[in-house]
Amino acid sequence: MSTIIKAYGDTLNDGKVQLSFALPAPADAFGKEAARILILSMGFEDAEITCMRELGEGFTHFIAYAVSQVGVDTSKIKVKVVETPVMDMEATEKYVEEYIGRQLTIVGACIESDAHTVGIDAIMNMKGYNHRYGLERYSCFNTINMGAQVPSEELLARAREEKADVILVSQVVTQKNIHIQNLTRLVELAEAEGLRDKMLFICGGPRISHELAIELGYDAGFGTGSYSTDVASYIAITLAQK
C-alpha cells in the first residue's frame, strides 16, 4: 500500500484544500482573477473562488477551494516529541521520592518583554489549570514563579542562587517572532555563564513545539494543550535518568 497521502475532501486523494486570504486588490472581476492566478501559482489546480468580501482601504478577502496534487510520504516522517509517559501528581511525587529522593527546585518566569503570565501560571500556580494542580502543589518540587517581564539575567541569577534543577520559561507573545529572540538570548546567556548543562531548560507557549525547543538549545518544549502533569512527569523522569 502506498505510503503517500494527499489532502482529503470527500474522496481519497482528491487533494481538496480550503484557502482563505486577503489581497490588496479590489473586490471585482480583476481582484478575483488576481486571487485565482495567485492560487494557481502556489501550485494548486482547479482554483475556485467561492467568496469575495470587501475589507475596506482597498483590501479584499477571498475564500477558495482548490486541488493540490502534492502528497506526503508518511514512511519518511520523523517528529520530535516529548517521549516520557505522563503521570498524575501522586505518581510523580512517588516517582521522585523513589528515584531521586530529594525535592527538586524549579525556577519559572515569563521572560524579557513578555507580560503575559497566563502560561507560566497555568503550569506553576497551586490551582493549576483544567483540573490539574500546578507544580507548586507537588510535594516533590520547590517552586519559584518569578512572574512576568523577568530579564534573562535575573532569572539565571535566581536559578544559580537557588541551585535550581530546572528552569521553566514561558513565552506567550510571538509577534514578529519575539519569542524566538527572547528564548535564544536566555540560552546564550546560560551558556556564557556555564549554567546550561547544570539544569534542565524547558520552554512553553502557544507557538512552541518540542522540536523548536530542541532547535533553540532547550531540553524540552511544551505547546498548546500541555498541562502541569506533562511538564512534571518529564522533569521527574528526565532528572532520574541523569
Active site residues: 127
Helical H runs in the chain? Answer: 29-41, 89-99, 118-124, 152-161, 178-192, 210-216, 228-241
Among positions 58-87, residues that touch another protein (CB under 8 A) are 59, 61
Residue 224 CB, nearest distance to another protein (Å)?
6
Give the CA-trace dihedral at 108, 112, 115, 117, to 10 degrees: -10
Residues 145-182 as b or e (16 or more Cβ within 10 Å = b): bbebebbbeebbebbbeeebbbbbbbbbbeeeeebbeb
Number of residues that bind another protein (CB under 8 A): 31
Q: Does 136 bind another protein (CB under 8 A)?
A: no
**Nearer to another protein by C-beta: 93 or 112?**
112
How far, in Å, CA of 121 to CA of 127, rounded? Answer: 9
Q: Does 53 bind another protein (CB under 8 A)?
A: yes
Contact string (CB under 8 A) for another protein, positions 182-221, x = contact: ------------------------x---------------
Residue 97 CB, nearest distance to another protein (Å)?
28
Residue 126 CB, nearest distance to another protein (Å)?
8
Helix, strand and coil content of the chain, in percent to the nearest 5, comes to: 35, 25, 40
Near another protein by CB under 8 A, which window of 68-76, 96-104, 167-175, 212-220? 167-175
Site of interaction with another protein (CB under 8 A): 20-22, 53, 55-57, 59, 61, 113-118, 121-122, 125-127, 129, 147-149, 173-176, 178, 206, 224
